[in-house]
Amino acid sequence: MIEALQVMPGIGPVSATRIAYYLLDRKRTEGLLMTKAVDEALSNISLCPICRNYTDVENEPCQLCSNARRKEKHSICVVETPSDVMAIEASASYQGNYFVLHGHLSPLDGIGPHELGLEYLKDRLSQERIEEVIIATSHTVEGDVTASYIASMVKKFDIRVSRIATGVPLGGELGSVDGNTLALSLNYRRDM
């Protein structure tokens, strides 16, 4: 159990030992509920084949991709993480479709275009009728590099490509931005 707990980020042997004893001493019922929840999530949640957001294996493609009204917007918003989709959805400022990168380009960590699934995005650009790609990666160095890479890829398809603008703080991630600010940054996106 101590070894298994160390799979969590930031949990080393000392913390893992403390958690293990804590569960054994005081939280057996809760611990069992937690392992059941983890088991269910890991067994039943996969990536949507279209947007690569998390979805139930029984609901592929995901709810957002299956929504015909969203498809009519002919736009794809590219984000780094599934929680960015949730943040944008909560701001109710965007009605189109998404593509989730699950990270950003980071050659030193071995994360290139393939790891971000960009070939799937390319397939969508050539197969779907897309009129705009909005790049909503964070305003960090890696987020900007990723945005430029995707922008040049999208331009080859003669599709409008824009980048979310003001409001999202430099060095900031979308999840930490309130809904109104996020809505503004989408409205004031600029062409790339």
Instruction: Kindly list the residues in this chain that would bind Zn ion in the complex (CB under 5 A).
Output: 48, 50-51, 61-62, 65
Instruction: Give the pairing of strands 97-100 and 132-135.
Output: unpaired
Q: Which is nearer to Zn ion, 70 or 160 (CB)?
A: 70
Shortest separation between residue 25's beta carbon and Zn ion, angstroms: 43
Q: Which is nearer to Zn ion, 65 or 135 (CB)?
A: 65
99: nearest Cα among 132, 77, 130, 67: 77
Across 137-149, b (16+ Cβ under 10 Å) vs e yields bbbeebbbebbeb
Q: Which is nearer to Zn ion, 83 or 187 (CB)?
A: 83
3 burial class (0-12, 13-18, 19+ CB within 10 angstroms)? exposed
Shortest separation between residue 49's beta carbon and Zn ion, angstroms: 8
Q: Which is nearer to Zn ion, 51 or 121 (CB)?
A: 51
Q: Which is nearer to Zn ion, 50 or 177 (CB)?
A: 50
Shortest separation between residue 45's beta carbon and Zn ion, angstroms: 13
Shortest separation between residue 175's beta carbon and Zn ion, angstroms: 19
Shortest separation between residue 89's beta carbon and Zn ion, angstroms: 12
Angle at 7 between CA 99 and CA 28, to 5 degrees: 110
Q: Which is nearer to Zn ion, 19 or 50 (CB)?
A: 50
**Cα–Cα distance between 87 and 117 in angstroms, integer?**
21
Shortest separation between residue 33's beta carbon and Zn ion, angstroms: 29
Cis peptide before 61 (omega within 30 of 0): yes
Euclidean distance between the first and final Cα of the chain, in Å?
50
Residues 6+ apart with CB under 8 A from 181: 167, 168
